[in-house]
Amino acid sequence: MDRSLRTCRPAARGLLALLLALAPLIGPGTPDASADSGTFQQVSGFGSNPGRLTMYSYVPAGLPAGAPLVVALHGCGQSANDYYQDSGWPKYADAYGFAVVFPQTDSGNNPLSCFSWFDAGKDTRGNGEAASVVQMVTAAESRYGSDPRRVFVTGLSAGGGLTADLLADYPDVFAGGAVDSGLPAQCATTRSAASGCQNGGQNLTPAQWGDKVRASYPGYAGPWPRVAIWQGTADYTVRPVNGTELRDQWTDVWGIGQTPSSTQGLPGGTTLTGYADAGGNPAVALYSVSGMGHGLAVDPGSGPDQCGTTGPYFLGGICSSYYTARFWGLTGPVTGGLPAPTGLTVTATTAATVALSWQPVAGAVSYDVYRGGSQVNTGTVSGTSFTDTGLTAGTPYGYAVAAVDSSGTVGPRSATVNATTTGGSPVTCYTTDNYHQTTAGRAHRSGGYTYANGSGQDMGLWNLVTTHTLAETSPGYFVLADSGCPA
């Protein structure tokens, strides 16, 4: 993190000091008009553009009509080209077949080129930057034939804050989103309130957070977007409590509560906590990256789950773009193949195995089974059941299945189901005051408040009076368990 950011405080005076606290400082780049497999270019004439933004897009060569569309919003001080070059999204656009729109703001809108997630005149439905982004979506759907049912939005820091606002403002436009080191939707409605959102919890209930989303588009009764949340546990620009508040907000909107349906370890010290809808499908996912500061998680390399370039506020450890695309369902085949199987069910578990079954697909000659996004069957699965072996006791896993036709074409994957093997170490709970929770290494103090290690949940004031129960659900990962220690 830039040294100047570490010295900022909520009480800093002047616009510049406040904006320094809002998001990363990276010098804007100059757009590169070429790429290996497609074209990155500026798009003009996309609408009335009330937010005075600039539109860039990356479109893979030969992209067919009906492909998905991803909108990727940069952080403060960045440009569209920075995000194009370093985030990893073009790699997956090529690999899985979708277009990417890169909106860009500039110093004419904000002294440090921040998207205005805290300005009610710019981040609400039909207004300012939010309206400009949706005009870009409409233009992309017209130009590239993008599927309006599969439009997604993601953003870093201030771009993450605007992402959350866009999901609340336009749930009829976006099927899913990813908020990277960002803020809950409508956390602040004025610039003066922005610092408070970044630096501490707002002490709102999940229902109050959810009401902010519901009020963004009154009367909306359609499906809600699927939301991925990425948060570093050592982020001192946008505090980890924002990840917890985003989780509270979107699980409440979905009406699914804050009890996880699954917990899974991922590369880079990342813990994925999943929240499924009533049908068992992923609705909200919180990716907590241990020890990561403020930035977008990347993992340079040539592997299918590696991406991006490290640098200021592009932080190595895990490729968040890959796991976000997988969460949205973009990593399956783009075209062709049989329909996705339905009825995927976990039929039995042991300490080392998970047994699955599903409904047959007409025309399928075999099936491929995926665990955590990677294929696990080494031979042909000709029937509609499969047992995964060699697993770790007491560990959660996510599964999907796809049908294979006579030509060998693999169809789209089913909805994911979660299973946890039996056995393993029991969950341990600790009940004491916030002071002793921190001295025992189960929580940490920041700005006079206490936050659980791993989950980053807000525990209130750091003192000897406030008492909580923390459950250690995996080594070094603690969650609030005041209502009872989980089995």
Residue % of the chain over a pLDDT of 90: 62
Residue at a domain's end among 370, 398, 420: 420
In a domain, 123, yes or no: yes
Residues 114, 229, single domain; the answer is: yes
Residues 407, 472, single domain; the answer is: no
Q: Is the pLDDT confidence value at 245 over 80? A: yes
Q: Is the pLDDT confidence value at 386 over 50? A: yes
Average pLDDT over residues 271-281: 87
In a domain, 390, yes or no: yes
In a domain, 384, yes or no: yes
What's the domain count of the chain? 3
Q: Is the pLDDT confidence value at 234 over 50? A: yes
Residues 369, 225, single domain; the answer is: no
Residues 207, 311, single domain; the answer is: yes
Residues 57, 144, single domain; the answer is: yes
Across 31-35, 217-221, 470-474, least confident range: 31-35
Domain that holds residue 413: 345-420
The CATH number assigned to the domain holding 392 equals: 2.60.40.10
Instruction: List residues with catalytic annotation.
Output: 157
pLDDT band, very low/low/confident/very high, at 393 (cuts 50, 70, 90): confident
In a domain, 339, yes or no: no
Q: pTM score, two decimals?
A: 0.67
Quote the pLDDT of residue 402.
86
Q: Are 487 and 452 in contact (CB under 8 A)?
A: no
- Given CA atoms 310, 314, 319, 321 in this order, what sign does their dihedral have? negative
Q: Is the pLDDT confidence value at 259 over 60? A: yes
In a domain, 79, yes or no: yes
Quote the pLDDT of residue 477.
81
pLDDT band, very low/low/confident/very high, at 410 (cuts 50, 70, 90): confident
Quote the pLDDT of residue 186.
96
Residue at a domain's end among 301, 328, 355: 328
Give the tens place of pLDDT for each residue, 417-440: 888 888 776 678 999 999 999 999
In a domain, 315, yes or no: yes
Quote the pLDDT of residue 36.
42
pLDDT band, very low/low/confident/very high, at 370 (cuts 50, 70, 90): confident
Residue at a domain's end among 328, 361, 385: 328
pLDDT band, very low/low/confident/very high, at 291 (cuts 50, 70, 90): very high
Across 2-16, 53-67, 129-143, 165-179, least confident range: 2-16
Residues 115, 80, single domain; the answer is: yes
Give the chain as a 3 state SS string: CCHHHHCCCCCCCHHHHHHHHHCCCCCCCCCCCCCCCEEEEEECCCCCCCCCCEEEEEEECCCCCCCCEEEEECCCCCCHHHHHHHCCHHHHHHHHCCEEEEEECCCCCCCCCCCCCCCCCCCCCCCHHHHHHHHHHHHHHHHHCCCCCCEEEEEECHHHHHHHHHHHHCCCCCCEEEEECCCCCCCCCCHHHHHHHHHCCCCCCHHHHHHHHHCCCCCCCCCCCEEEEEEECCCCCCCCHHHHHHHHHHHHHHCCCCCCCEEEEECCCEEEEEEECCCCCEEEEEEEECCCCCCEEEECCCCCCCECCCECCEEECCCHHHHHHHHHCCCCCCCCCCCCCCCCEEEEECCCCEEEECCCCCCCCEEEEEECCEECCCCCECCCEEEECCCCCCCEEEEEEEEECCCCCEEEECCCEEEECCCCCCCEEEEEEHHHHHHCCCEEEECCEEEECECCCEEEECCCCCEEEEEEEECCEEEECCCCCCC
Give the tens place of pLDDT for each residue, 59-71: 999 999 999 999 9
Residues 70, 118, single domain; the answer is: yes
Residues 435, 298, single domain; the answer is: no
pLDDT band, very low/low/confident/very high, at 446 (cuts 50, 70, 90): confident
Quote the pLDDT of residue 332.
61
Quote the pLDDT of residue 9.
31
Q: Is the pLDDT confidence value at 297 over 60? A: yes
Quote the pLDDT of residue 416.
77
Residues 361, 246, single domain; the answer is: no
Residue % of the chain over a pLDDT of 70: 90
Across 129-138, 235-244, 296-305, 371-380, least confident range: 371-380
In a domain, 337, yes or no: no
Q: Is the pLDDT confidence value at 155 over 60? A: yes
Q: Is the pLDDT confidence value at 8 over 70? A: no
In a domain, 333, yes or no: no
Quote the pLDDT of residue 10.
31
pLDDT band, very low/low/confident/very high, at 16 (cuts 50, 70, 90): very low
CA dist list (Å): 231 to 133, 239, 288, 375? 24, 9, 5, 28
Quote the pLDDT of residue 92.
95
Residues 312, 170, single domain; the answer is: yes
Q: Is the pLDDT confidence value at 405 over 80? A: yes
Q: Is the pLDDT confidence value at 22 over 50? A: no
Q: Is the pLDDT confidence value at 463 over 80? A: yes
Cα separation of 88 and 251, whole Å? 28
Across 237-251, 261-275, 448-462, least confident range: 448-462
Across 29-33, 89-93, 120-124, 169-173, least confident range: 29-33
Average pLDDT, the chain: 86
Quote the pLDDT of residue 348.
93
Residues 311, 372, single domain; the answer is: no
The CATH number assigned to the domain holding 138 equals: 3.40.50.1820
Residues 278, 354, single domain; the answer is: no
Q: Which two tokens stand for residue 480?
A: 């609030």
Quote the pLDDT of residue 487.
58
Quote the pLDDT of residue 425.
67
pLDDT band, very low/low/confident/very high, at 377 (cuts 50, 70, 90): confident
pLDDT band, very low/low/confident/very high, at 280 (cuts 50, 70, 90): confident
Across 8-12, 245-249, 293-297, 435-439, least confident range: 8-12
Quote the pLDDT of residue 359.
94
Q: Is the pLDDT confidence value at 154 over 90? A: yes
